Chains A and B, each alone.
Chain A
Amino acid sequence: MASRAESLKAKLGPSARLVDQFMDQTAGLMAEGGAEAWLSIVEIFATFDKPMAVRMLSSAEKIMTGLDDPQIRENAARIILGIGRPRWSVMAAAINNMGPFIAIEPGYTLEWLSHGVALAKVDQDVASNYFNASVEMLEHLGANRFELWASLGEELAAKSWKAAKEYFKSSPEALKKIEPGDMEEWARLGMYIVEKAPTVKKNYNAHSMLAQGAAAGKGSKMGLGEQYFQSAPQILGRLSIHALKDWVEKGLEVTGAHNEKGSSFFSLQSGGSRVAVDDLVKGLELRDAHIVLRSYAEALMGRTAQVRSSAIFYKNMPGLGRFFAVGDGSRIYLPNNLGEFGDDKDSNFKLFKLMLTHEMAHIELGTFAADREKLLRLARFRDQALAYMVFEFLEDERVDAVMDLLYPGLAKDKSSIIASYAKQKKTAGDPVSLFEAVSFGVEMDTGTEDPLLPILIAARERVLAQGAGVDDALDEAIRAIEQFEQEVDLETRLARKSADRIFHRGVIDFELVDKAATGLAAVKEAARIRLSSSEQEIPADILEEAFIRLEESEGVEPDKLLWQIAPTGERFDEVADHLRQIIDDIENEKRFRVAVHYDEWDNGLEDYKKEWCRVREMDMPTAGMTFYTRTMKENYGLVSQLKRHFTLLRPDRVQRFFREERGDEVDYNALVESMVEKMAGITPSDRVYIRREKNLRDVSVAFLVDMSYSTSEELPSGKTIVDIEKTGIILMAEALEAIGDQWAVYGFSTNRRDRADFYVVRDFDQPYNDEVKMRFGAMEPMAQTRLGAVIRHANRLVARMNTRIRLLILISDGRPYDVDYGDAKYAVEDTRRALWEGKRKGVTSFCVTVDKKSRDYLPYMYGQSNYTVIDNIEALPIMMPLIYKRLTT
C-alpha cells in the first residue's frame, strides 16, 4: 500500500500532499483493503483526469464517514474498483453520486453499487445514466421502490441496452409525473415494445464490405423502445397508465404497416402520434385551457398573471392527491388535468375557472397579508392540523362570499358545479365532510353530530357578517378552536370522520408564499450581481422581464421553481446562463418585429412536423451609407439607364375616363352631342362627365436574399457573392422606385430550426429613405439556408398585399441546407412544399441562382420555368432588372 501511495504521489505532482493527508486521516476508515482499492481508483484517474483524482482524495473522508461499518466501506471501495479501468466513466459517475446517495440511505449503498456494476457489464452509458439518476430517484421513490426501479432497469438492459439507457435517463423527469405505483407498468410496456419491435435489414450496397462476412443479411431491431422512453416525460402525466397502453398498441399497429413510421410515432414526431395522445387524454388538460384562463385572470386582475400546473408540488405534498390548487402570492398553480366531470369539457373548464378565481381572490383580498405572529398561535393548539384547517375554511368562506358579490355570474356557475358534485358524491356513497356541511348547509349523515359543527357555524356567520378581513377570520378560527378544546374531550374529537377541504378550494400555504417571495428576491439579486459587469448594470426592468420570460419558457408545467434555486451552484449557473441569453434576446428584440412558428414538411413521414421552425422577423440593422453610395457611383451609367427604361414602363399616374355617368369635370364634347341629341328629339345620353382615376401598376414584389455563410465566397474580381447580390438589389430598388411597384427586400440566414432569422431591409409600406439605404450595407454572410421556413414567412408577408401580381424572387447561391435540416432530399422536398403553399396563397415565386450544379434539382423544386441560373455571377446586377421586366410585363 505504501508503494502505491508513493507512485500516486509521483503522478499527482503538486497535489501530492493530498495523498499523505488521505493516508493520515481517511485510510483508517476503510481498513487496509478498502483504502488500497480507493487509492487504485485514484491512480486510474490520475493518469488522465487529475481534477477527478484530487476530488476523490479530498472528498473520501466525507463520503466514507457516511457509512458506519468499516467492512461496508471497504466493500464499497472494492466494488467500485471492480467496475474496471476501461469503464472509468462509470466509476466517475458512481463516485460523484456516492456522497449524496449515502447521505440519504447509507444502508442501501452496496446494493446500489452492485446494480451499477451489473449494468456496467452491459454498457457503460447505461450504468452512468443509472448512477446519475439514482440520487434523485432515491429521493423520489424511497429505498424499496428504488430497488424495483433498478431491477426493472437491469431486466430491460438484458433486452436492449439502448432502451435501458433512455429508461435511466428519462426516469427522473418522467416518474415525477405518475403515481409511483405505476412505475412497473410503464417499464414493462417499454420491454413489450422492445420485444415487439420489427427487425429491419440494413440496405448495404452489394459491393460494400459490410454486405459480406458476418453482418451480411443480419437485421437489427428497430429502436422503438428507446424512443418510447425518450418520449416518456412528454406523455406521462397526460395519459393514465391505461391510456398509455392504448397508445403503445396504436404505435405498434402503425409500425406494423410502415416500419419507418413507427419510429416517428414513438418519438412523437408525427402528427398522427400526437393526435393519438390527444385523443386518449381524459378530462380537460390545463395546457388546453391555460391560454384562456390566463387572459381571463389578467383581465380580471388588470395585470400580468401567471398560471401554472401544480404538478410540481406533487411530490412534495404527499397525501394531497393531484387535485389541488395553490397560490404563491403572485403565481397560481392549478391541477394538470381536471376530470371531475369526465369528458364534459365545459363543466371541467368551469371548475378550472372557479378554482382560478378563488385563488386570485386570495391574492386580491389580502389573504397572504395575514398577521404571521397570530398565525403561529394556530400551531400551539393540541390538534394544530385541525386548527389550521378551520382557519383555512373560514378564510375561504370569507373570500368566496366577497367573490360572490363581485362576480354574481360566477356564483351561479359555482352553485351548479357544487350541485352536480354533490350528486356525484351521493351516488358514490361518499360521506359529506364537516366543512361541506357548514358551507352548503346540508346534513351530515354520520348519525352523531360533530361537536365542532355548531361552533363552526357560529364562527362562519361572524366572519361573513362583519365584512371581515383575513385577520378577523384568523381571530374567529382561534376563538373557535379554543372553545372546542374546552368543550370537548380528546376522544370525541378524534372520532370525527371527515374534514376534507371543499373540493374547489386550494391550499393556503403561507410558507410557500413567504419562501417564494424571499427565495425569488435572493435569486434575482444574485442574478443581478452575476449578470452585471463593472461597466454595465442590468436595468431592473429588463431583469424583471427576463425572469418572467424564463418562467414562461418553462411552459405551463415547469419542472423547477425559480425561488428554490440556491443563489450559488450548478443549477444557478444554468439559470444565469439562460437569463443572459434571454437578456441578449431582449436586446436583439428591440429590432424584432415578431417570431412565428411554421410547420415543416417531412418527406419521410409524408406529414408536417407541427410548429417546427421559429422564424424571427427583425429589422436589419443599419451600417453606414458607404456601400450604397459606392454602388451608385460605380454603376452610375447603368442606374440612369435603368431608371429611364423603367419609367417608360410606368403607366400614366392619373387616367381620365371620358363619357362617364359621373365624374368631377364636365366632358364638353359629350355634352355638346347630348345637347344636339336633345334638340333633335332623341333621348340624350347622360354620360357627359370625365372621371379621373388614379392608376397604379398592380404589382408587389419581395426579394428574398440569401445571406448564408457560403455567400462570403470571393470571386475573381475580389467581390463576394453577397456584395454582388446587394448591388443587384440596390439597382433593382432604383428601377422599382422609377416604375412605382410595391417592393420589399428581405434577407435571411438560419441556424437550426428555432433560429431562422428573417431580416427586413425594406418592407412594402416603408419609405425608401436613407435608413433603408444604410441597411443594404449591413447585409453580411451569416449562417445556413433553411429555405422552407423563410419562404413560408415571406409568402405570408407577400400574401398580405392585395395586388393582382404578387411575386417572390429568391436570390440564392446554392441548395437549401441547415444543420438539422435532414438530407438534401428532405430539404428540397420541404422547399418545394413551401413554394407550393405560396402558390396556393397566390404568391408566384421565382428563383435566381448562381449555383451551376443546381440545374439538377431546381426544375424539380421550382417547376420548369420558374428559375434562372446565371452563369457569370458578376452579371447578376444587370440581369435582375431584365428578369424582373420579363416577369411583370
Chain B
Amino acid sequence: MTQVKATASGERKMEEFRIESEPFYLPIDDEVSLFRIAHENKLPLMLKGPTGCGKTRFMSYMAFQMGLPLITVACHEDLTTSDLVGRYLLDGGSTRWQDGPLALAVRHGGICYLDEIVEARKDTTVAIHPLTDDRRVLPLEKKGQIMEATDTFMLAISYNPGYQTVLKDLKQSTKQRFITIEFDFPEASLEVEIVMRESGVERKNAADLRKVAEKFRAMKNRGLDEGVSTRLLIYAGILIRNAVAPRRACSIAMIDPITDDPEIKKTLEEIVSSII
C-alpha cells in the first residue's frame, strides 16, 4: 500500500498506486458486492468500525479485485485543503502545479481513501463535499478550475465511532453523503483463520488468542474503551511464532497497548493466564 506525502514533488504515475499482489482478506458478509454496487453507481462509501478490524485491508483487497489504483490518505489534524487538492511548487525558474492525492484520483480515476477522517480539520473535510453529491466535481481554487471526476473515481472514508467526543465527530452534513458499511471483529472461526494466515501460528495458538480476545471484548465499557483488535491478535501471533512465550506475547501485544490502568491490566493478565 502506498501513502502519499502531499509535500513530495513530482507527478506520480497512477500505476504506482495499483495493488500488485492480492491482499489477504476474508469476506464476512455482503461487503464485497456492496462495494461493487457503490462503485458502479458512483456512491461515496464510508467504512465504519472499531480500529484494527480490517477496514483498510478491505479497501486494498477491493482495489485489487477491481483493478483500480488506491490512494490512501492518513488524515491528521494539520492536513490542509492544499494537502488534499494540490498546490503550486517552484520548478527551476517557474512554478508548476502539483496535484494532491485527491485531485490525482479525480483526474485519473481510482479510489481515494481518506483513512480516519475525523482526525482531519473540519474545514478540510468540507472540501470533499462537492465530490460527494451528483456534481462529482473538485474545485481547484488556486488554479481557478473546476475538475470533473472521471467515471472510475470513487471516494471512500473510514470512521471509528468509538472516538465519539464532541470534539471529534463528523458533521451531519458530511456523514449524510455516504453509504455506510459497518465492520466488526470477525466471528471466531474466521478470526482464527485470519490470525493463522497473517501471523503463521498454529491453529491451537490462534484459537487461544481468539478466546482471550473474546473475553477482553466483553470488558468493553467495563473498564476498556475498546476491545482488542484483530490486528493486535496478529501481532501476538507473530510474537508467538518467533518463540516469545504465549502469556508474555499476550501482555506485550494485547494488554499493554490497550490499557494503562494497573487494575484492568491485572485483570486482563489473569484472563490470559486462565486461558493460556
Chain A residues packing against B (C-beta within 8 Å): 291-292, 295-296, 298-300, 302, 353, 357, 407-410, 413, 662, 664-666, 671, 675, 688, 765-766
Chain B 46-72 per-residue mask, 1 if CB under 8 angstroms from chain A, else 0: 000000000000000000000000000
- Chain B residues contacting A299 (CB-CB under 8 Å) are 215-216, 218-219, 222, 267-268, 271
Chain B 192-230 per-residue mask, 1 if CB under 8 angstroms from chain A, else 0: 000000000000000000000001101100110000000
Q: Which of B218, B274, B276: most chain A Cβ within 10 A?
A: B274
Question: Are the CB atoms of A664 and B273 closer together than 8 Å?
Answer: no
Question: Are the CB atoms of A407 and B275 closer together than 8 Å?
Answer: yes
> What is the chain B residue whose CB lies nearest that of A353?
B270
A-B contact pairs, 28 of them (CB 8 A): A292-B267, A295-B219, A295-B222, A295-B267, A296-B271, A298-B218, A298-B219, A299-B215, A299-B218, A299-B222, A299-B268, A299-B271, A300-B215, A353-B270, A353-B274, A407-B274, A408-B275, A409-B273, A410-B275, A413-B273, A664-B82, A665-B88, A665-B142, A666-B88, A675-B93, A688-B90, A765-B165, A765-B167
Q: State the Cβ distance, B8 to closest chain A Cβ, in Å.
A: 12
How far, in whole Å, are A298 and B271 apart by their CA atoms in the complex? 11
- Chain A residues contacting B263 (CB-CB under 8 Å) are 291-292, 295
- Chain B residues contacting A298 (CB-CB under 8 Å) are 218-219, 222
Interface of B is mostly: helix
How far, in whole Å, are A777 and B129 apart by their CA atoms in the complex? 40
- Chain B residues contacting A688 (CB-CB under 8 Å) are 90
* Given A292-B270, A664-B87: 13 more A-B contacts, CB < 8 Å: A292-B263, A299-B219, A299-B267, A300-B274, A353-B274, A408-B276, A409-B276, A410-B273, A413-B274, A665-B142, A666-B88, A666-B95, A671-B90
Q: State the Cβ distance, A791 to closest chain B Cβ, in Å.
A: 25
- Chain A residues contacting B5 (CB-CB under 8 Å) are none
Q: Cβ of B80 < 8 Å from any Cβ of A?
A: yes
How far, in whole Å, are A622 and B7 apart by their CA atoms in the complex? 50
Which of B90, B219, B274 is in CB contact (< 8 Å) with A666?
A: B90
- Chain B residues contacting A300 (CB-CB under 8 Å) are 215, 271, 274
> What is the chain B residue whose CB lies nearest that of A765?
B166
- Chain B residues contacting A666 (CB-CB under 8 Å) are 88, 90, 95
Q: Cβ of B76 < 8 Å from any Cβ of A?
A: no
- Chain A residues contacting B156 (CB-CB under 8 Å) are none
> What is the chain A residue whose CB lies nearest that of B220?
A299
Chain B 255-276 per-residue mask, 1 if CB under 8 angstroms from chain A, else 0: 0000000011011101111111
| Count of B interface residues, CB-CB < 8 Å | 31
Question: Are the CB atoms of B218 and A296 closer together than 8 Å?
Answer: no
Chain B 87-99 per-residue mask, 1 if CB under 8 angstroms from chain A, else 0: 1101001010000
- Chain A residues contacting B88 (CB-CB under 8 Å) are 665-666
Q: Cβ of B247 < 8 Å from any Cβ of A?
A: yes
Question: Are the CB atoms of A766 and B166 closer together than 8 Å?
Answer: yes
- Chain B residues contacting A664 (CB-CB under 8 Å) are 80, 82, 87
Which of A292, A409, A665 is in CB contact (< 8 Å) with B274?
A: A409
Please give me the 9 A-B residue pairs with the lowest Cβ-Cβ distance, nearest first.
Answer: A410-B274, A295-B267, A407-B274, A302-B218, A664-B82, A409-B276, A299-B215, A292-B266, A299-B219
Q: State the Cβ distance, A709 to closest chain B Cβ, in Å.
A: 33
Q: State the Cβ distance, A659 to closest chain B Cβ, in Å.
A: 14
- Chain A residues contacting B268 (CB-CB under 8 Å) are 299
How far, in whole Å, are A822 and B90 apart by their CA atoms in the complex? 73
How far, in whole Å, are A750 and B81 apart by their CA atoms in the complex? 50
- Chain A residues contacting B82 (CB-CB under 8 Å) are 664
- Chain B residues contacting A413 (CB-CB under 8 Å) are 273-274
Q: State the Cβ distance, B187 to closest chain A Cβ, in Å.
A: 15
Q: State the Cβ distance, A410 to closest chain B Cβ, in Å.
A: 4
> What is the chain A residue whose CB lies nearest that of B265?
A292
Q: State the Cβ distance, A743 to closest chain B Cβ, in Å.
A: 15
Which of B87, B142, B223, B275 is in CB contact (< 8 Å) with A295?
A: B223
Q: Which of B108-147 contact A (CB under 8 A)?
A: 142
How far, in whole Å, are A408 and B167 apart by their CA atoms in the complex? 44
